[in-house]
Amino acid sequence: MDIVLFLIFGTIAVVAAINVVVQTHPISSAVSLIGVMGSLAVLYLLLGAEFIAAAQVIVYAGAVMVLFIFVIMLLNAGAEVKRGRSLVVQLLGAPLLIALLGLLAYFVERVFPQSVKVHFGGFTGGSAQAVGRALFTTYLLPFEVTSLLILIAILGAIVLGRKELD
Amino acid sequence: MTEVPISWFLALSAILFALGVAGFLFRRSIITVFMSIELMLNAVNLSFVTFSYQYKQVSGHLFTFFVMVVAAAEAAVGLAIILTVFKNRATLNIDDVDSMKN
Amino acid sequence: MQLWLIPILPFAGFVINGLFGRRFSKGLVNVFGIGSVVLAFAWVLKTIAGLGDLNSAYTEHYFTWIQSGAFTINCDFSVDRLTEVMLLVVTGIGSLIHIYSIGYMAHEHGPNHGGYYRFFAYLNLFMFFMLVLVLAANYLVLFVGWEGVGLCSYLLIGFYFTKKFATDAGNKAFIVNRIGDFGFSLAMFYIVKAFGTLDFSQVFSRAAGIPEGTLTLIGLLLMVGAAGKSAQIPLYVWLPDAMAGPTPVSALIHAATMVTAGVYMTARSWPIYTHAPMAMEVIAVIGIATAFFAATIGLAQNDIKKVFAYSTVSQLGYMFVGVGVGAFSTGIYHLVTHAFFKALLFLGSGAVIHALSGEQDLRNMGGLRSKIPWTFWTMACAWVAISGVPFTAGFYSKDAILLAAYRHAPWMYWLGTVTAGITAFYVSRAMFMTFFGKYRGHEHHIHESPPVMMLPLTILGLLSLGGGFLFEVPKFLSSVFPPVEEFEDLTLMLTSVGFGLAGIGLAILMYVAKPAMAESLAANIKGLYTLVYNKYFVDEVYDATVVKPLVGGSRLVLWRGIDVGVIDRLANGIGYGARDIGGVLRLFQSGNIRSYAAWVVFGSVLLIVALGLAAGGGR
């Protein structure tokens, strides 16, 4: 059962990701990205990360991607025009990608033991209670710092986005 | 057989990451590039949660949480920058933003 | 005894006149400049009186200058009879010449009377260094004085520094001297190596035990230094050019004192030389050769100062003959008498030049006997002395040298006698062309020099006449030098006197009785005359063989080759290299964000490989 879930949603994620990269119009890419995020949320649930799965859907898919779509519509971005080139990317791009993927796959196979298996319910420490406890005890300082970070981000966005005063 | 070997999750994460890099390298629209970045971050989140499962600790989830927070902030500021670039250059082509040349 | 006062007094004069002389009146400059030297002379007299019958050296130790392991050099002054003689000559003649300079340099006026204070400052500095040289108790302190007088010679020759020939002459003097100093330095190194010390008393007491080869080498190297300072072959070329300086300088430095430093040093080192007979032989040969050679050049010169300059070179040769044949005291004797009459000759010619408002060419003089009689009569005293007329000072000293030379090697006696004849001839020639006959020049106001210049001339004239039997120098120095057998031969004495008188006679014939004879003779032996007149083209030969290759080599090899080619290229190369590397690195900055991303991915792939290898290797 778990493996079926994994295969289905893993495939959806990969296909949607390919779609993000391949589509010419940004809106199509954005919607595909939402698909990726949704599939990933299911995979998180499989791994016992309930809180993270919820956060993924609410924050990422629900807020960040909506923001993206707002901006795309604001800019009236059209289909991409293929203009300009970079010699480095043309020469190095594909080989580097293959190398990257190959290396990662190789190390994944070598490092990780085949004995550990994932099944739903195998890890129960990902509840909101556990996350909250860890967040407010061990990781209190980073938590406070990220709140500052968000504040700065808001300020930055406001400053960058406002009209110039004449 | 109903269980998934953990390395498959990591392989999936690697594939998604590679796709994100490909998008970053080969696409010319700024917004698409940004979305590739988000894709890469998501791939990394997946691998964090996987490790958390492997070691049966909640720290991985915490990392994921912080990555999400930072990604959100970064998306906000980055999109504001894109707006500014569009206002000044009237282009969304990343190859046209090259005034740092030489 | 406070020996240090002797050199310090002139040094104080130098400091005061040098720093403040610009603001002083002429009188105040005189007080410090001349007063310091006269005081030094007085102190010398007091010291000599206080030391009495000095039979061994009296030394004063001041401070330890260099201390390096077992090697020590102290700043010591020592006085023995030889030093006393030198001190009297230096301070005595120095005082007379300082007094003379008041009159001679009086015209050096300007807003701050221009060079007047500078002249006396330099002259005082020279006195300081010369006295240090004479009083030194070891070779290194002597060398300090040696170098110092060389420096002052350069400063004073180039005194009229706006004239190029004067500065060139100053350079020439200093550079040629330097070559001699190189020999001297090498000699000092050998002395340290062989003796372990530079102190006179220690070196001389141990000289007997050192192998003859080493002593010969040391002696020869010291001679190189003496040849430079005392203008012997082959390093004499600077002395005639040094006449570009003011006449008192020529008199003091290039006749009486500095050029005798080489003779003094050689005489002082007699323990080394007596154990290195070959070196002494070389000295004597160089001396007699120089004496003859320079005398022949003096025959044909037309500048009055140049005649006396070559005469100085020649007379210095005589001194070295005396020293070289082992009769050290005769060399010093001639040094003393030569100081009298040569200084007088120079000062007198200075008076003549002064009277004629700057004319120095003999061909434009004549008949001055009636116009400047006092100058004539005083110079006449020097004339007879240098010609070796019996009972004058020059007669006694030259005679002593020639006799000693005969005992050593008769050919030296004959060559020396011929040279004496030539000497008498050319000095007489100069005298006749200046004071006799008809005046050939253009000057209208020919006046006698002021008394301040006449007084030193008079004193020196009396000394030239009577100094010979007043100061029995060899007897005085007999306790210092090794004993030499007393030798008197009437025949030899009369022969040398005869040659001298013959020289005067020939000059009378050619320049007084039949003036045209000189020109016709010169025309008949044109080739030889040209050779002698151009000083045997020695300067030209030196220029071609030494100077030009050196300058050319410096320019081509050292400058273009090494300095520009190697060093500059290295320094610039580093700059160019940095720029080129920067140029390559610049290509990374394409401005294209995608290419930057590609490089990032490239870097991360490398990192993964590296980490994998590290971890893989660890496992």
**In 3D, which of C221, C256, C202 has the Cα closest to residue C76?**
C202
Asked if C229 and C261 count as a contact pair (C-beta separation under 8 A), the reply is: yes
- B44-56: average pLDDT: 92
Q: Where does the pLDDT of residue C109 fall: very low under 50, low under 70, confident under 90, or very high at 90 and above?
A: low
Q: How far apart are CA C479 and CA C484, in angstroms?
A: 11
Do A141 and A120 fall within a single domain?
no
What pLDDT shows up at residue A166?
53
Query: Would you tell me the crossing angle of helices C261-268 and C212-229 to the nearest 10 degrees?
Result: 160
What pLDDT shows up at residue C38?
92
Best of C587, C592, C596 to disrupt the B interface (most B CBs within 10 Å) is C592
**A124 CB within 8 Å of a chain B CB:** no
Nearest to B72 among A20, A64, A142 (CB): A64
How big is the A-B interface in CB pairs under 8 Å?
244
Q: Where does the pLDDT of residue C56 fall: very low under 50, low under 70, confident under 90, or very high at 90 and above?
A: confident
In this structure, what token pair is assigned to residue C175?
A: 């550079």
Q: Residue C233 contacts by C-beta under 8 Å, 6 or more apart in sequence?
A: C227, C286, C289, C290, C293
**Chains contacting C (3 or more CB pairs within 8 Å):** A, B
pTM of the model: 0.70
- C300-324: average pLDDT: 90
First to last CA, chain C: 92
pLDDT of residue C223 exceeding 70, the answer is yes
Within a domain: B9:
no
| Contact at CB, A6 and B4, closer than 8 angstroms | yes
* Lowest-confidence region among C110-119, C154-163, C357-366, C422-431: C110-119
Do A45 and A84 fall within a single domain?
yes
Dihedral over Cα of A89, A95, A101, A104: its sign: negative
Q: Residue A34 contacts by C-beta under 8 Å, 6 or more apart in sequence?
A: A61, A65
Asked if C28 and C38 count as a contact pair (C-beta separation under 8 A), the reply is: no
Do A132 and A98 fall within a single domain?
no
Half-sphere exposure of C563 (CA within 13 A, CB side): 8
**In 3D, which of C191, C45, C29, C187 has the Cα closest to residue C117?**
C29
Q: Where does the pLDDT of residue A120 fall: very low under 50, low under 70, confident under 90, or very high at 90 and above?
A: confident
Within a domain: B72:
yes
Rounded to the nearest angstrom, the gap between the alpha carbon of residue A103 and the centroid of all alpha carbons in its chain is 22
Best of B17, B25, B26, B34 to disrupt the C interface (most C CBs within 10 Å) is B25
**A67 CB within 8 Å of a chain B CB:** yes
Do A6 and A85 fall within a single domain?
yes
| Nearest chain C CA: its distance from B61 CA (Å) | 25
**In 3D, which of C486, C431, C471, C527 has the Cα closest to residue C81?**
C471
**C592 CB within 8 Å of a chain A CB:** yes
Within a domain: B20:
no
Question: Taking CA atoms, what residue in C is nearest to B96?
Answer: C592
Within a domain: B97:
no
What pLDDT shows up at residue C110?
53
Q: How far apart are CA C317 and CA C294, in angstroms?
A: 9
Do A121 and A133 fall within a single domain?
no
CATH number of the domain residue A25 falls in: 1.20.120.1200
Within a domain: B69:
yes
pLDDT of residue C489 exceeding 70, the answer is yes
Q: DSSP state, A137?
A: H
Q: In chain C, where are the structural domains located?
A: 277-533, 544-587, 593-619
pLDDT of residue A129 exceeding 60, the answer is yes
Q: Where does the pLDDT of residue C618 fall: very low under 50, low under 70, confident under 90, or very high at 90 and above?
A: low
- C529-552: average pLDDT: 82
Asked if C441 and C364 count as a contact pair (C-beta separation under 8 A), the reply is: yes
Nearest to C598 among B25, B94, B98 (CB): B25
Which residues between 579 and 618 in chain C have a beta carbon less than 8 angstroms from any beta carbon of chain B?
A: 586, 589-594, 597-598, 601
CATH number of the domain residue B77 falls in: 1.10.287.3510
**Chains contacting A (3 or more CB pairs within 8 Å):** B, C
- B58-62: average pLDDT: 92
- A38-61: average pLDDT: 93
**C562 CB within 8 Å of a chain A CB:** no
Do A82 and A136 fall within a single domain?
no
| Contact at CB, C591 and B24, closer than 8 angstroms | no
Q: Which residues of C touch B22 (CB under 8 A)?
A: none
Do A136 and A117 fall within a single domain?
no
Q: Where does the pLDDT of residue C511 fall: very low under 50, low under 70, confident under 90, or very high at 90 and above?
A: confident
pLDDT of residue B99 exceeding 90, the answer is no
How much is the mean pLDDT over chain C? 86
pLDDT of residue C113 exceeding 60, the answer is no
**B91 CB within 8 Å of a chain A CB:** no
Which residues between 70 and 89 in chain C have a beta carbon less than 8 angstroms from any beta carbon of chain B?
A: none
**B3 CB within 8 Å of a chain C CB:** no
Within a domain: B12:
no
Do A97 and A158 fall within a single domain?
no
pLDDT of residue C108 exceeding 70, the answer is no
Beta A117-118 vs B4-5: how paired, if at all?
antiparallel
As for how many domains chain B has, the answer is 1
Q: Which backbone phi and psi does A142 adopt, to 5 degrees?
A: -60, -35
Do A56 and A114 fall within a single domain?
yes
Within a domain: B67:
yes
What pLDDT shows up at residue A76?
85
Q: Which residues of C touch B24 (CB under 8 A)?
A: 594, 597
Question: Taking CA atoms, what residue in C is nearest to A95?
Answer: C602
As for how many domains chain A has, the answer is 2
What pLDDT shows up at residue C505?
85
Rounded to the nearest angstrom, the gap between the alpha carbon of residue A66 and the centroid of all alpha carbons in its chain is 14
Q: Which residues of C touch B94 (CB under 8 A)?
A: 593-594
What pLDDT shows up at residue C510?
80
Domain that holds residue A58: 2-126
Do A97 and A133 fall within a single domain?
no
Residue owning tokens 């190596």: C193
